Structure 1
């Protein structure tokens, strides 16, 4: 289930001089994933890796305050070879590492391109955060914001920068809606009101469709990036 959108939003929001690596080759497209604790960011990253790894050269950077837990989950699930997954321990709120001081993440993505490149795509996952989490455009080219129905069907109505401005909003765990009393139609209408023509995907990773719509959006971003 997803909302239609204006295709003017289909490509990365900005392509600048930093689209090239020092050797003149095009760097990987960087897509950030943020959202509240427990919304399903890491599971979405894992599903994207499984959906795209046979057709793209990709890698993942995770962010946590003091642990490598998200990276270790991806390693346990064997979604990519170990050398393609790296963790940034932020030592403070992950907001700092994805928005205010992006140096550690930039170093991580550049190291991945040097060590396992050339890469088509790097997924950068923020640690568990709240509804104000946004990525620096100096770090990522596009942002996915993940919320889930168990967090309350009023989240789209309440808004916040992640909900209103992310390039893609993912409403996750739709299979739980009947059990937690969330109204998906209301969430869709509220998301439309907050986001206008920016796209929204409703997703259950337990369904047959799984991450299909989000993977299609990522492919669309990559097509625009490499055009």
Structure 2
């Protein structure tokens, strides 16, 4: 569910929002999904968020790949979190299936992490690379980030799609590449505002020091609202 949405939590399943408490009555971790096309920088964003937040939050990550565990292995090589805080899901089909249609494997991974290393403040669920229609079930995550990159074309925000228009946060990544690929950042920002209305968008370059800062601030704001 969107944080602050007026409806009450119900049983997880389909698009029904997940319960906010664990079976024993404790508050569960906030779950934030990250989706976006192949190569947009989802895994790099997850890694940067882990580095930025791990000193003050208890967090874990679930990754999704079709036939491999490549994204989880990248996070393990980068040592962004202890190995027991990273779980991989092999979807075996289009990535959107496991984050929107049949979320059981991801829910199991999330719950296993909370059982094994909890209590947790935050769990990041990274989708496998998908197209602009990929969205997360509200039975799996509480808020979702959609990552695009300037190399994919500066017309992406204008073209829209559910990922671009409806995600709780849109991240326009790899802004450092704009001069080399001919992308107009002002145009992308303007089109994002027109498509998304009051929903926020940020621009990032993870090559810059603290380039993930605007995303990290948004995540900590979501967590503060969740705890409150």
Deviations 1:154-208 (A, max 9, x none): 0000000000000000000000000000000000110000000100000000112
Q: Return the alpha-carbon distance in structure 1 between the equivalents of residues 187 and 126 of structure 2.
A: 28
Task: Report the 3-state secondary structure (helix = DSSP H, G, I; strand = E; otherwise coil) of the residue aligned with 1:19.
Answer: coil
- Superposition pairs of residues 84-163 of structure 1, within 5 angstroms: 84-163=85-164
Deviations, residues 38-86 of structure 1 (Å, cap 9, x unaligned): 0000000000000000000000000011000000000000000000000
Moved over 3 A (4+): 11-15
The aligned residue for residue 51 of structure 2 is 50
Match of 2:15 in 1: none
The Cα RMSD (Å) is 1.1
- CA distances 1:25-45 after superposition (whole Å, capped 9, x unpaired): 000000000000000000000
Distance 2:136 2:8 in 1: 16
Q: Describe how 1:1-227 pairs up with structure 2 within 5 A.
A: 11=3, 13=5, 16-17=9-10, 18-227=19-228
In 1, Cα distance between the equivalents of 2:70 and 2:4?
29
> Quick check: 200-209 or 121-130, which moved more?
200-209
TM-score of the two chains, using structure 2 as the length reference: 0.94
Shift of 1:16: 1.5
What is the number of residues matched between the two proteins?
A: 218
Whole-Å separation in 1 of the counterparts to 2:147 and 2:50:
16
Greater relative contact order (Cα 8 A, min sep 6): structure 1 or 2?
Answer: 1
Structure 2 residue runs of 5 or longer lacking an equivalent are: 11-18
Does the CA-based 8 Å contact 1:71-1:86 persist in structure 2? yes
